[in-house]
Structure 1
Amino acid sequence: MQHNPKMMRWAVLLPLLSVFIWSLNIAVTRYVTEYISPVSISFYRWLVAFIMLTPFMLPQLYKNRALIQQHWKQLAVLAAFGMVLYQGLSYSAAHYTTATNMGIINAFIPVFTILVSVFLLKEWPNRFALLGCLISFSGLLLVIAKGHWANLLSLGGHAGDAIMLAAVFFYAFYGVLLKKWQLKIPLFISVYVQIFFALLYHLPFVLYFGLDAINAQNVWSVLYAGMFPSLAAPLLWMLSIQYLGPNQTSIFMNLMPIVTAGIAYCWLAEQWTAYHSIGTALAILGVLLAQKKAPARVKSITK
């Protein structure tokens, strides 16, 4: 595919905007804990996205009805992992940990993806991936321990980090299943159907816990979550992949911990400490190393 060279120079802004939107959403998730329950904002988020997409998706839904009927079970599973377990647990984690820690833990999705791929795809990591995982996990433990390894023994103080780890683990399943199934469905149709299932999955929790009312204190957070991280950021990310390619685009995800920390520092007055810097550096180094491919073996030829 040929692209305008001038547009290519501006294409770098696409993944940067996506990362900023997702990072800001982590801060919004932390901020809104005082004003709305995790179940409520998670449900409202997907409801807003569903309402916005419906006028555009209904004709496409009818046109692709055969594909949807063929793959609806897989879309239902993807919705459970990516939109309910990951997002729902993230909103719960925000009640017990900082946005800074959430951003750093979120950076471990590539490492968790490698581990999940072993079980679902039988793809065994090379030596670089194994070393990268070890380096990343050491950085993760440093952040959770707040710079002092003895703190790991006080299990009660890490509830939010543990919940966020579970969320990231489930999102790794989401990514691996997408790769395993490789559904030939237009992306926004896939997202729309997944949102539909996500709303269905929320209903038992809504009936049990109830819904908080939308008010002046939480309405903008709900609208932001439904519009920007749910719809705008994925679209910008897809455009970035078209212009820059998947490998170059994926590198920008390593900026999320730093961008999230900057937003949390300016908006939520969270502190960025030395152990955050070291942990983030180890996380990024591990992820970059894990993406390195082992050199192909050269077979000797004898005459």
Structure 2
Amino acid sequence: MTGGSRSLGTLALIATAALWGSNHVVARAARDAAPLPALVFWRWLPAVIILTVIAWPVLQRGWPDIRPRLRELTIGGVFGVGLFSYLLIGGAYQSPAIEVGFINATTPVWVVLLGVMMGGGQITRAGYGGLALAFIGTILIISKGDPVRLAGLQLSLGNLWSLLAAAFFAWFSIRVREWSRTIETLPLTVVTAWAGLVVVLFPVYVIWVARGGPWFAWTDADMPTALGAIAYTGLGPTMLGNVFYLYGVATNGPTRAAGFLYLSPLCTAMFSIVWLGEQLTWYQAGGIAAILTGLVLLSRPEQDAKTIP
């Protein structure tokens, strides 16, 4: 991998963090305009069609490498695109955008843990402390600074969805690194996106409409707001964000790429305060401080790195 490619990958990851940071904010603002199944489905459908048209020549050329791995790519798309997208946007529908963004910052922690569990990674002594701090920070946000919430299981469903989304995407990031050794970024994006759309998002959307749900927007919603939210999330965070991220993973590796995602909650916090008028609470600030400190410790090289028993 050339230095130029890695530099471009770094820029792509910074752009990804900004796009995905705005994603939570737009989804939070759109919850009164478009129902969740409609927003998640329609944000992906146009993006996948456009990407397929753009990637078609490369997709045909790379099909011999894709076909033997089609089953595992489909599974990857189900978890890394379909379920992840639904949980991510669903989290923003039910919890403040600031909290959702902060919880999604734990993705690098999951990358490290899952990498070790899958036999492809190591953790340093400092990493143990980093994992503990990131865990404490996440619990602080989920419990909203009140341990009674944990004891009584009075947790925000949106925060739990966001945490599960982070774990799914971490696993997907690890798999992308392996797939990208033989499959180019655009075809990889297209195949996994179609898998998530067809297997998860489309069936959920059909069931929603069949049960009487509105197909696009709430009946009393502002249509320009619904159209704008779906258009932006589809072309920005969904299409460009995923292409940029997969390219960043391919050029920088899953652990380094996931580390850039800590920029995303900072963007989310800034956008949320400016556009939505959300307030930064003490437990949110404390939680993100613990998470970011944990990420720094996780990324520190150390001679005596060792695998988790």
Report if TM-score (shorter chain) is over 0.5: yes
Contact 1:139 1:283 in 2 (8 A): yes
C-alpha distance 33-279 of structure 1, shift in aligned 2 (>3 A): same
Determine whether 1:77 maps to 2:85: no
Sequence identity of aligned pairs in percent? 24
Deviations 1:189-232 (A, max 9, x none): 11011121122112321221126225323111111111111222
CA–CA distance in 2 between the matches of 1:16 and 1:123? 24
CA–CA distance in 1 between the matches of 2:79 and 2:113? 16
CA–CA distance in 2 between the matches of 1:208 and 1:138? 38
Aligned partner (choices 275, 284, 309) of residue 267 of structure 1: 275
Contact 2:15 2:244 in 1 (8 A): yes
Give the C-alpha shift of residue 296 in structure 1: 5.0
Give the C-alpha shift of residue 234 in structure 1: 4.1
CA–CA distance in 1 between the matches of 2:59 and 2:120? 34
Contact 2:173 2:249 in 1 (8 A): no
Contact 1:140 1:283 in 2 (8 A): yes
Aligned partner (choices 228, 232, 244) of residue 240 of structure 2: 232
CA–CA distance in 2 between the matches of 1:70 and 1:11? 27
Contact 2:23 2:237 in 1 (8 A): yes
Match of 1:281 in 2: 289
C-alpha distance 124-228 of structure 1, shift in aligned 2 (>3 A): same
**Which shows bigger deviation, 197-206 or 132-141?**
197-206
Aligned partner (choices 139, 142, 147) of residue 140 of structure 2: 142
* Aligned AA (2:297): L
Contact 2:107 2:169 in 1 (8 A): yes
Match of 2:220 in 1: none
CA–CA distance in 2 between the matches of 1:180 and 1:121? 13
Match of 1:116 in 2: 114
Contact 1:22 1:229 in 2 (8 A): yes
* Aligned AA (2:135): F
Give the C-alpha shift of residue 179 in structure 1: 3.6
**Which shows bigger deviation, 135-144 or 155-164?**
155-164
Determine whether 1:290 maps to 2:293: no
* Aligned AA (1:266): V
Contact 2:9 2:244 in 1 (8 A): no
Match of 1:256 in 2: 264
* Aligned AA (2:274): C
Report the aligned-residue RMSD: 2.8
| Corresponding residue SS for 1:65 | helix
CA–CA distance in 2 between the matches of 1:122 and 1:241? 15
Match of 1:218 in 2: 226
CA–CA distance in 2 between the matches of 1:2 and 1:114? 24
Contact 1:25 1:225 in 2 (8 A): yes
CA–CA distance in 1 between the matches of 2:248 and 2:111? 21
Give the C-alpha shift of residue 15 in structure 1: 4.3
Give the C-alpha shift of residue 174 in structure 1: 0.9
**TM-score in terms of structure 2 length:** 0.84
Contact 1:36 1:212 in 2 (8 A): no
For the pair shown, the structure with the greater C-alpha radius of gyration is: 1
CA–CA distance in 2 between the matches of 1:157 and 1:41? 25
Count of residues paired in the alignment: 292
Determine whether 1:103 maps to 2:101: yes
C-alpha distance 207-86 of structure 1, shift in aligned 2 (>3 A): same
Contact 1:129 1:292 in 2 (8 A): yes
Give the C-alpha shift of residue 291 in structure 1: 1.5
Deviations 1:55-83 (A, max 9, x none): 22222222222122121112101101111
C-alpha distance 29-114 of structure 1, shift in aligned 2 (>3 A): same
**TM-score in terms of structure 1 length:** 0.86
Deviations 1:6-37 (A, max 9, x none): xx7x9986544332211111111111111222
CA–CA distance in 2 between the matches of 1:152 and 1:31? 28
Contact 1:121 1:180 in 2 (8 A): no
Match of 1:209 in 2: 208
Match of 1:25 in 2: 23
Unaligned runs of 5+ in 2: 218-222
CA–CA distance in 2 between the matches of 1:182 and 1:218? 35
